């Protein structure tokens, strides 16, 4: 069969200035952010230029890679690749409209239908900037859109309790547990409540805020599954709900989450602006513990920006705030990862890790794991894994192995892509010590292998 050369793709690659090797590397990078390991090389790029069609979601990854290089949004169709299947919208969830539910309802339908293009969608640098441009544009639905029964605080409290139950399940068993059930609950129960008639304006605000917290949890579940593009879409719609609610600080908290995601993916564009804007939306208007959570993420972005003194000063301010008024009530939306203290310690550890102070980082990760509720199995395990990696950076292999063993103790029954990646990374780090015949490394590697093969 004769193939037609892909002229559109050739012109875009020429415009990007990338070599075929560089294009292949960029595609592998985007795929890795989505939890997919590709072996794309320059030979495959030549095949695509000759008219071959990339397999599975690779066309999406190629479009994102070239979008980043060229500074404008491109779809697979722009690259001369086949259009998505009927009903598949590559851009769904990647914008902010007047009514986030109009975006979420079809997004949930596609998720429940197991449409694979969503799970394979990539993180978008352009979408990360959307909250910055919309932060002052709080959309309000008209009164005519409110229909159905009158919604009161009892319904708000019920939604909060259900979202907390899903959140607790997530922390104990991992993000892959209960995801479809959460989508169904938000679609069938929470969305109609958000479109109901509220007893008071305050009830309406709190209902939208509670819904935003539920959508935020969906984003977190997607993140835990390695589906970074899908997580970002949910975070954007969570931001839209929080902003519409008008609850002070909630929209900024979602901006904080988006900054954290960008830092984790090594996509620093907009991270400092997101963290700083989120902080400015909340400081002086929320309780001290919640403000501390904003400040410590801001500190991390400062460290990533090469400003160590400012980063450490901001982290110190966060720790001071944590103990200023511990009796103040922390809002529901700020408890996304449990009590503030361990979240603060864990993020402070990342500040020190960025600044290459591995001893201080290990200490903070230890504090975080000890301070968390012990039924938060996944995050306790990941704090311990991070602490073990800091011990290894300091050259203390025995202490690292002991900490890794404790982390594995907490992983029993947890279904999480991140824990599997952590164990895989651990085995890679141990390989050179195992080769030297170090007993503790060999025993730990065997346990890690058993963990991966039993799941």
d(CA 319, CA 342): 11
pTM: 0.75
Percent of the chain surpassing pLDDT 70: 85
| pLDDT for residue 89 | 56
Region 132-151: what's the mean pLDDT? 46
Q: How confident is the model over 378-432, as pLDDT tens digits?
A: 899 999 999 999 999 999 999 999 999 999 999 987 878 888 899 999 999 999 9
439: Cα separation from own chain's centroid: 37
Q: Residue 330: is its pLDDT beyond 50?
A: yes
Highest mean pLDDT among 123-137, 266-280, 328-342, 356-370: 356-370
Q: Count of residues for the chain?
A: 455
Between residues 146 and 36, which one has the greater pLDDT?
Answer: 36
| pLDDT for residue 194 | 85
| pLDDT for residue 227 | 83
| pLDDT for residue 414 | 82
Quote the tokens at residue 104: 């979420």
101: Cα separation from own chain's centroid: 20
- The three-class DSSP label of residue 4 is coil
Quote the tokens at residue 380: 């306790």
| pLDDT for residue 295 | 97
Q: What is the DSSP letter of 76?
A: G
Region 350-379: what's the mean pLDDT? 94
Q: What is the mean pLDDT of the chain?
A: 85
d(CA 117, CA 59): 11
d(CA 255, CA 127): 12
Region 319-330: what's the mean pLDDT? 83
| pLDDT for residue 341 | 95
Element (H, E) at 197: strand 197-198
d(CA 217, CA 337): 10
DSSP 99-161: -HHHHHHHHHHHHHTT-HHHHTPPP-HHHHTHHHHHTT------GGG--SSEE-HHHHHHHHH
How many other C-beta atoms are found inside a 10 Å radius of the C-beta of residue 235? 27
| Of the listed ranges 27-36, 37-46, 79-88, 187-196, the one predicted with least confidence | 79-88
Region 347-373: what's the mean pLDDT? 96
- The contacts of residue 160 (CB under 8 Å, 6+ apart) are 210, 213, 332
d(CA 390, CA 356): 9
d(CA 7, CA 169): 50
Percent of the chain surpassing pLDDT 90: 47
């Amino acid at each position: 069969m004769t193939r037609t050369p892909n002229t559109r793709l050739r012109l875009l690659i020429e415009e990007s200035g990338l070599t075929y090797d560089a294009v292949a590397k960029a595609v592998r990078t985007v795929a890795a952010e989505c939890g997919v390991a590709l072996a794309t090389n320059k030979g495959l790029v030549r095949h695509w230029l000759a008219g071959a069609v990339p397999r599975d979601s690779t066309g999406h990854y190629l479009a994102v890679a070239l979008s980043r290089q060229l500074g404008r949004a491109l779809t697979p169709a722009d690259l001369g690749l086949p259009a998505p299947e009927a009903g598949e919208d590559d851009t769904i969830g990647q914008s902010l409209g007047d009514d986030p539910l109009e975006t979420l309802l079809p997004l949930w339908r596609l998720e429940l239908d197991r449409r694979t293009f969503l799970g394979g969608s990539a993180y978008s640098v352009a979408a990360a900037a959307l909250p910055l441009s919309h932060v002052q544009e709080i959309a309000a639905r008209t009164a005519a859109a409110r229909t159905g029964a009158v919604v009161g605080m009892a319904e708000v409290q019920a939604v909060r309790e259900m979202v907390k139950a899903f959140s607790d399940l997530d922390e104990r068993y991992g993000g892959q547990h209960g995801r479809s059930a959460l989508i169904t609950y938000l679609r069938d129960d929470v969305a109609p409540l958000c479109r109901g008639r509220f007893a008071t304006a305050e009830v309406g605000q709190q209902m939208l805020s509670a819904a935003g917290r539920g959508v935020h949890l969906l984003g977190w579940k997607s993140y835990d599954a390695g589906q970074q593009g899908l997580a970002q879409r949910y975070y954007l719609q969570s931001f839209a709900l929080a902003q519409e609610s008008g609850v002070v600080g909630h929209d900024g908290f979602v901006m904080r989450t988006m900054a954290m995601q960008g830092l984790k993916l090594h996509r620093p564009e907009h991270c400092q602006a997101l963290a700083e804007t989120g902080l400015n939306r909340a400081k002086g208007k929320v309780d001290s513990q919640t403000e501390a959570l904003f400040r410590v993420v801001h500190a991390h972005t400062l460290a990533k920006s090469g400003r160590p003194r400012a980063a450490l000063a901001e982290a110190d301010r966060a720790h001071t705030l944590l103990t200023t008024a511990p009796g103040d009530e922390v809002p529901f939306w700020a408890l996304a990862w449990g009590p503030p203290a361990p979240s603060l310690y864990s993020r402070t550890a990342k500040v020190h890790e960025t600044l290459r102070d591995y001893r201080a980082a290990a200490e903070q990760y230890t504090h975080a794991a000890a301070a968390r509720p012990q039924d938060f199995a996944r995050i306790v395990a990941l704090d311990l894994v991070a602490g073990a990696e800091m011990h290894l950076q300091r050259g203390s292999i025995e202490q690292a192995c002991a900490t890794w063993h404790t982390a594995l103790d907490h992983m029993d029954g947890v279904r999480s892509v991140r824990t599997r990646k952590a164990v895989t990374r651990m085995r890679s780090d141990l390989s050179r010590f195992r080769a030297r015949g170090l007993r503790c490394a060999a025993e730990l590697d065997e346990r890690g292998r058993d963990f991966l093969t039993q799941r």
